[in-house]
Homo-oligomer: A and B are copies of this chain.
């Protein structure tokens, strides 16, 4: 099969976390043209002997320094319009990563100038990254309804209130604490009680939970 057009293939990451009651995305400042000085999603070329999820894992480790497996990672969509990179034909596979609130940037990584940027303050991005970001965020919002994905924003053990704050941050809407508690503890396989409680700063201690084995929520938590 000769004569097929040659493409470069990259993996770009939309890494989200919950900070200060809102969603934040991991961005890097570009040092080179095109779009020098602009903010962009972290990412890079897929290597010759690498599968796509491997490349995404590697980029994530390089950008965040996190041990692989601690963050949720899933493919979102692929973009390949001619001209989306002015230098050459590039096809980009976008991945969505959800992480607990973590200190960043980690020293000694590729992108020393990586930063968490609140979603609302993300200015114009390089390439078509604004679209990648928007579509990844919408995917995350939708998946919170019918999967236990929100636990990916939490540490291994967490309280119902922490989980609720995740939902409120992602959906941008206040939720009733009582009804949320009922639904979340009632969904089979969503949460597993750890047995311990938190020592908190003023207020009744809360039960700790771990993520349960369910992969989908019945019934789902609807945005309304």
A interface residue numbers (CB < 8 A to B)? 1, 4-9, 45-52, 75, 77-82, 87-89, 91, 93
Contacts and interface: CB of A to CB of B under 8 A. Distances in A.
Contacts of A80: 9, 46, 51-52, 93
B49 A82 contact: yes
B50 A82 contact: yes
B46 A5 contact: yes
Given A51-B82, A80-B9, A4 B93 contact: no
Given A52-B81, A80-B93, 12 more contacts: A1-B88, A5-B9, A5-B48, A7-B7, A7-B8, A9-B9, A9-B91, A46-B80, A48-B89, A78-B78, A78-B93, A91-B91
Say how many copies of this protein the assembly contains.
2
A89 B51 CA distance: 10
Nearest to A92: B78
A4 to B, nearest CB: 5
Given A87-B1, A88-B1, A81 B51 contact: yes
Contact of A45 (B5, B78, B82): B5
A78 B93 CA distance: 7
Contacts of A6: 6-8
Contacts of A77: 75
A5 B51 CA distance: 13
A23 to B, nearest CB: 21
Contacts of A9: 5, 7, 9, 80, 91
Contacts of A87: 1
A1 B88 CA distance: 9
19 contacts: A4-B45, A5-B8, A5-B9, A5-B45, A5-B46, A5-B47, A6-B6, A6-B7, A6-B8, A7-B9, A7-B46, A9-B80, A46-B80, A51-B81, A51-B82, A52-B80, A52-B91, A75-B77, A80-B93
Contacts of A93: 78, 80, 91
A145 B221 CA distance: 15
A67 B5 CA distance: 27
A80 B47 CA distance: 11
